[in-house]
Amino acid sequence: MGEQLGASGVPGAPSANGLPDIAAAKAIIWNVELERGLRLTRPGAPCEAILKTGPRMLWWNDEPISSVETATLYKLVDGQDKTFANAMVQRLADSFRTGNNFTRLCILKAFFLVSKSIRRRGRRDGTGLFKKERIANYQEVLKRVKSVMDSGDVVARALALRMLGCLGEIAADSLDVQRLVIEALESPHQKEVEAALFAMGCLCELSLSFAEIVLEKVVEIANAMGSSPATKLSAIRVFSKLGVSPHLAFKAHEAGESLMLRLPTTDIVSAMLTSLTMLALNSIFTIERQVELLFAYVSSDPRAAVRAVALHCLSKLASQAARSLVSRNWNFSILLSVAEDTAAAPALRVLAFNVLQKLSGHFVRVVDRSELFRLLLTVELNLLQYAGSLRRAALECLGSFGCELGFLRFLAGSDYPDADKPTLGREFTKEVSEGEQIMYNGNSISKNLSRIPQSNMNFAARVGLLLCDTLALEGSTALIDRNKVTGGEIQETKNDFDPTRLQVITRLVARLMQSCPEVLPMILDSISSLIKAATQKYVQDVRLLIGKQEAVTSMDTDSKESTEPKVSLRESESVGSGLEVELEFVLSLCHCMYAGVRGAGTTGMDSNSACIILPKLLDLTKQVSGDDSACHILRATLPPLLRIWSLSGRSSNDRKNIESYITKCIDQMSKIGEVWVAYKVASEAATNGFWSPVYTLVDELTRKVHSEGCYLWLLSLSLLATAERTVGFCNKEHLRSSDSPVPTSAVNDTEKLMDIDTGYMNSAVPEPKDQGDNFTLKFGDAAAKAIPLLRQVGSVLAAGVCSERTFEFQRWFVSIRLRMVQSVTDILQILNLVLSSHSLPNTTKPAVDMNMDCAVPAFESSGVDCAVFDNIYDRRIQSTFKSAKARASIICTQLMHLSKELDILGLSFLGLDEESLECLCEAAINCSLISFCTYAVFTVGSTSADNVRGHPTVQNLHFRLKHINGFEGLDLLQTWIGTNNESEDSLVGGCPRGAIVKVCGWAIKIISRLERGSPVLKQQSSLQDVPVEPLRFLQLLIGECSQLPFPIPKYFFCTRPRAAVELFVAQTGGEEVTELSVKQGSSLLLSICAQLTNVPVGISSRISSLFCVLSFHGVESASLVEEDLYADWKLGWHEGQASNQSLIDFSLVEKLVQRATCDDVQDAIKLEQELLFLPTLKEDTFSRKGVKGSAKKAGAFGRSFTRFIMDQKGKGFSSCNLDVASFPVGQYQLSFESVGVDTNNRPWVLIPSRIRETLKITASSTNV
């Protein structure tokens, strides 16, 4: 009979009723199949049934004993799990007693599979199939196995002894079993003695009294003259099992050292060192003594085999020491001496480098700096003499030390080598470009490094130089002059080139750039030089190949004899194969560069460093884009260029050049038929706001596709690109108008023209064009065209939806973008209305460009007496301002709501990448900053400035900026929020940086001046009821914060539905799983199973805990409202918003995230109470709809909190008690919100994927 493992055939897959399978629920089927297989007379059928039982028992072994929740959900009888486990084990034991040796061997394999899993996981784990709590008749099981010991068959007795070892959980305390094992040591048969030693090792791990006896026995066997070498080695292996107590571990370690002194043979010493190392890994109390012992053998033992075993054992201990407390006995000098010993075997040196690499984090803190530079110098001088594996180990070791020492300054002086002093990479590049000497000179490393003073170079920079020189060495193998060598030599060079070796080196370089952003410019300079030279060489060889192919073609078509030399076709094929090596080398360098800049961006590279690197990457991209044959290289250089441009603040000066490179790359890829690669380039361009090339490609692809789904997806991208291009054109006009009157040196000249202390201009500045009015008109026209297009994007995506979860991230993000544009447009319309309702002299203009570096803009006046305008505002203008202020307050609330929705969007998709999270964070900062400044501008000019303090917009902005190191405006925000900072917004994601941070600091300074009542007009005596200049400031701020063209997250192009949670609910004591019923006035006890679905593959962490809030709502009242919302959900829109998110209760999700990330017990209890009594969004929805029914009755809403501990398969069980005593008679539906916490302690909002449980409350007998 086939395996019954659920719907998908794997353990834990959903069964027919939707519940994930567990072993206890399938135990009855497994027992029936086992019994049927054992009774079959067909040859091999019993053994087949036994071997099939092994994986099933392994699955069962990993699950805990069935609880009340699992018994309720799966309708298990009390004790059913234990009964069938006992029956299966007892039936196998009976077959072991009556079967032949082959059957016994099959049973032993099944039991050994489970026993091995128990030892790997840990003996004292709460789960386990061979525990006394599960096997009630374990004495009968042992009796059946022990009966085989009475057999005269040596093989049967050996199998029985090993079987007793596998059953150590139930056999360790049996004196009869211990006696049988000890007696078997006296057997004259080698197999029986080895089996007894195996059983002895298994039993002594669980019994302290037996372990003390075992120690004496194994020492006696090892010292016995009559013991064979194989028996002695088996006895020595038992030493690794004697860590049951610290005292016994010390005693065993001493006995092992004595045995090595008494029996110093290579086999005995090697086996004992391995056993004592395993003992130290199991019992940390002997680690220091074992480390000291191993170093003694490494330094003094002359035998290479023993030293290799000692180093291998040190490597095992180093792996554990890197995760825990490191012993003080680790000797750096001994390891370095082995690594330096040229007479030692390469394998020994590789092991020494591996140990150094694993403990690099420890050695950089305790070892003298001269010793570290000794290691560096050793690798530098002897790298070329190392073999392949030795060179790799040395480079990996040195790279680990370089990463650990990235920010540590060893020496005073310059951090980097002198730029004008040549290195091997620069010399190699020069040679390649000139076409003279290409082969590698072995003495170049030491020669060039000797020119660089050691006092002017830190450790990380020298490691970076060495790695770049190694890349140059690989380049010398990949790039050869094909004009001077034959085809055979080209093929030999191709064979010498090792892509795996190149991948190792590039990975080390990328890791060094990620850990040490300070050395990134130097490394990128070297890599860029190599890429330029390799690209030039590749282009030349491509032209050479094309010329040879044309020559061969012309010779084939020409019938006349030619006096020209003949061109070999085979030689052309050899050149073509060499081009593959060159292209692979260049692409590896480009990928290494992107990995480095991408990791450095996430580890905190500032915008200044990115601005330094950007021109170098622009120059590199310009050079590789010169020939169409290098289109793949151009495509590989675009990701690092776009990443650095994003980190540098997305400067508009370089935007045109980058956009031209992107357009050229897309055209080249489309021309050669690489449409998918062109689409990937377009997606990268869209994530950085380059919409023109995206529109061109997508519009072309839309007319070519035949699939309906692909057509709708491409059409939505085309509409989105059109909308963003429309709005982006407004920004270009704004930048053009703002840049024209202000020279490039305006930022530097500002210090001369502005008084930093007062913020006023000290001299006249040319009057610029009215930027605010121009931007308002342009943005209004663009928004009027873009908003319908953004609405169409959602409609098109919804048309291709086969499930409400399809394109969920895309629809949600587009809806947020739509509301952002609408809100900004509304604010600009309000400002335009207020500013146009009065007459303001044109002489009052902003005097400083908004792009200046966090400077406070001052406003000038041409000498007009502002007192003349004190009485020009009539009641109509004041009424307009009041209505505008009320409307602005509503928009502020909407923008703050959008910022929180962006936070939830970033937490709602498990596996969201860091770049997408950074993009969402910047968008949330924009919304929060505009909300804060809008409220402040409309508040400080008309009422008391105290209204700004403690406002939610201030708190929201403070919680988003407080994690930025060195942010200048943080103190001002802290002053404004005061002591009212208890409701911290825990949904805030990553930290923004770049241009948005500068804009925030600039805006906060202006608001601070307004809050203090300081005038922003020179010579202005007071602010009137309508603060005109603050409104102008708000116009310019919106222009800066709009971030046009708008970049979209990288995750936008991931169409995989997000992870969800499926709940299975059963009433304790109930009869139906899908229908819950309770008497009125009673409480409802539920057993719940939570199963994660659609979990992304390849994520670095898994969900370990799940926090869930369950609620019951009246069905009569909620059905109509939720039916309408569900219809809009499938369309993707509801009153201009994404209705699939309109049911999200932000306050509930925020509290749930706070509870999931809370570690304090008292705070956790307080948050759980707040979750139970927090007002719900659905109650407000019903009241707004005017729904009358049970949901409006008192006590018609119930909520409960529960927590799940998730296993490796994403499954967890829990129970909760829902108080429904005050519920009226009727039907109710279950809903829930859940937040999962992964192993990195990061929260994720997980949506429900299954809600079909209903609760029926019937009248109690007393009311009838």
1110 versus 944: which is more confidently predicted? 1110
The residue to which tokens 């690669």 are assigned: 677
Residue 1230 β-bridge partners = 1112
Hey, is 1204 helix, strand or coil? strand
Task: Report whether 461 contacts 519 (CB < 8 A).
Answer: yes
Q: How does residue 182 score in pLDDT terms, banded at 50, 70 and 90? A: very high
Read off the pLDDT of each residue in 550-560 and give the average, rounded to a whole number: 50
What gap in Å lies between CA 1036 and CA 942, rounded to an integer? 21
Question: What confidence tens digit (pLDDT) does each residue in 397-433 have?
Answer: 988 888 887 655 433 333 333 333 333 333 333 333 3
DSSP 314: H
Number of neighbours of residue 1225 by Cβ within 10 angstroms: 13
**pLDDT reading at 869 higher than 70:** no
pLDDT band at residue 309 under the 50/70/90 scheme: very high
313 confidence band (pLDDT: 50, 70, 90): very high
Residue 764: partners with Cβ closer than 8 Å, 6 or more residues away: 860
Please say if the pLDDT value at position 1194 is more than 70.
Answer: no
Instruction: Grade residue 268 by pLDDT with cuts at 50, 70 and 90.
Output: very high
pLDDT higher for 1014 or 85?
Answer: 85
Q: List the structure tokens of 609.
A: 């460093």
Least reliable range by pLDDT among 64-68, 684-688, 703-707: 64-68
pLDDT at residue 943 greater than cutoff 50:
no
Query: By the 8 A CB rule, do 447 and 459 touch?
Result: no
Distance CA 572, CA 311 (A): 50
What is the predicted pLDDT for the residue at 213? 92
pLDDT of amino acid 21: 82
Look at residue 1014 in the predicted model and tell me its pLDDT: 52
Inform me whether the pLDDT recorded for 753 exceeds 50: no
Check residues 1062 and 862 and name the one with the higher pLDDT.
1062
Contacts of 714 (CB under 8 A, 6+ apart): 698, 701, 702, 705
pLDDT greater at residue 836 or residue 770: 836
Confidence class of residue 623 from pLDDT cuts 50, 70 and 90?
confident
* Token couple for 1174: 């927090």
Give the highest mean pLDDT range of 692-696, 872-876, 942-946. Answer: 692-696
- Amino acid 1077: pLDDT: 82
Q: Give the tokens for residue 24.
A: 């206890």
pLDDT band, very low/low/confident/very high, at 251 (cuts 50, 70, 90): very high
Q: Give the pLDDT mean for 384-402.
A: 86
Domain boundary assignment for the chain: 378-554+568-693, 746-1053, 1060-1258
**d(C-alpha 44, C-alpha 1137), whole Å:** 65
1108 within 8 A of 1203, measured Cβ to Cβ: yes
Q: What would the 3-class secondary structure string for 75-123 be? A: CCCCCHHHHHHHHHHHHHHHHHHHCCHHHHHHHHHHHHHHHHHHHHHCC
Mean pLDDT of the chain, nearest integer: 75
Q: How far is CA 468 from the centre of its chain?
A: 28
Question: CB–CB of 745/753 below 8 Å?
Answer: no
Whether residue 563 is predicted with pLDDT greater than 60 in this model: the reply is no
The answer to whether residue 1117 scores a pLDDT higher than 70 is: no
Segment 342-349 mean pLDDT: 89
For residue 1221 the two structure tokens come to: 């005593």
Residue type, 2: G
Q: Half-sphere exposure of 1261 toward its Cβ, with a 13 Å CA cutoff?
A: 0
Residue 498's pLDDT is 76
Among 876-880, 982-986, 1242-1246, which is the least confidently predicted range? 982-986
Q: How far, in Å, are 18, 258, 1064, 1229 from residue 1252 at the CA level? A: 12, 69, 9, 8
Q: Would you tell me how many other CB atoms lie within 10 Å of the CB of residue 964?
A: 16
The pLDDT of residue 476 is above 60: yes
Rg (CA), the chain: 37
For the stretch 800-832, pLDDT in tens is 776 677 888 999 999 999 999 999 899 888 888
What local confidence, expressed as pLDDT, does residue 273 receive?
Answer: 95
Rounded Cα distance between 747 and 998, Å, is: 13
Tokens, residue 471: 């890349």
What pLDDT, on a 0 to 100 scale, did the predictor assign at position 165? 92
**Angstrom distances, CA of residue 433 to CA of 164, 497, 983:** 73, 21, 62
How many helices (H) and strands (E) in the chain?
A: 47, 11
Neighbours of 133 (CB within 10 A): 12
| pLDDT of 272 above 90 | yes
Chain centroid to CA 291: 36
In this prediction, residue 1169 carries a pLDDT of 82
| DSSP one-letter string for 391-405 | HHHHHHHHHHHHHHT
Place of tokens 């069938």: 84
| pLDDT at position 250 over 60 | yes
Judged by average pLDDT, the poorest of 834-848, 1109-1123, 1229-1243 is: 834-848
- Whether residue 949 is predicted with pLDDT greater than 90 in this model: the reply is no
Token representation of residue 334: 């001994």
Looking at residue 20, the DSSP 8-state letter turns out to be B
Q: How confident is the model at residue 1073 (pLDDT cuts 50, 70, 90)?
A: very low
What value does the mean pLDDT take over residues 77-98? Answer: 88
- Other Cβ atoms less than 10 A from the Cβ of 41: the count is 6
Q: Is the pLDDT of residue 677 over 80?
A: yes
Region of poorest pLDDT, from 280-289, 682-691, 982-991: 982-991
Q: Which position has the higher pLDDT, 484 or 294? A: 294
User: Containing H/E element for 729?
Assistant: helix 708-739
Report the pLDDT value the prediction gives residue 815, as an integer from 0 to 100: 92
Q: Could you tell me the pLDDT band of residue 125, with boundaries at 50, 70 and 90?
A: low
| Residue range 1038-1051: mean pLDDT, rounded | 78
Label residues 70-86 b or e (16+ Cβ within 10 Å = b). Answer: bbbbbebeeebbbbbbb
Lowest mean pLDDT among 68-77, 866-875, 971-980, 1009-1018: 866-875
pLDDT of 1041 over the 70 cut: yes
CA–CA distance, 933 with 988 (Å, rounded to integer): 19
Closest-CA residue to 1199 (of 1159, 1148, 1235): 1148
Place of tokens 């342009």: 778
Q: Does residue 993 register a pLDDT over 70? A: no
Residue 737 reports pLDDT greater than 50: no
Six token digits for residue 717: 């991208």
pLDDT category at 548 given cuts 50, 70, 90 is: low
- % of the chain with per-residue pLDDT over 90: 21
List phi, psi (to 5°) of 1079: -75, 150
The tokens of 644 are what?
Answer: 């650095």
Q: Which residues of 1174-1199 are buried (b: 16+ CB within 10 A; e: fewer)?
A: bebebbebbeeeebebbbeeeebbbb
Q: Examine residue 693 and say whether the peptide bond preceding it is cis (omega within 30 degrees of 0).
A: no
Per-range mean pLDDT, top range of 389-403, 765-779, 862-876 = 389-403
List, for residues 32-61, the tens digit of each pLDDT value. 999 999 998 888 899 999 999 989 998 888
pLDDT at 179 over 50: yes
Between the CA of residue 647 and those of 612, 966, 994, what are the distances in Å?
11, 17, 6
Q: Are the CB atoms for 517 and 609 separated by under 8 Å? A: yes
> Which of 257-266, 599-608, 908-917, 924-933 shows the lowest per-residue confidence on average (mean pLDDT)?
599-608
Using CA atoms of 706, 710, 712, 715 in order, give the dihedral in degrees to the nearest 10.
-90
Two tokens, residue 235: 């006895």
Give the pLDDT mean for 1101-1122. 72
CA pair distance 1086, 250, nearest whole angstrom: 51
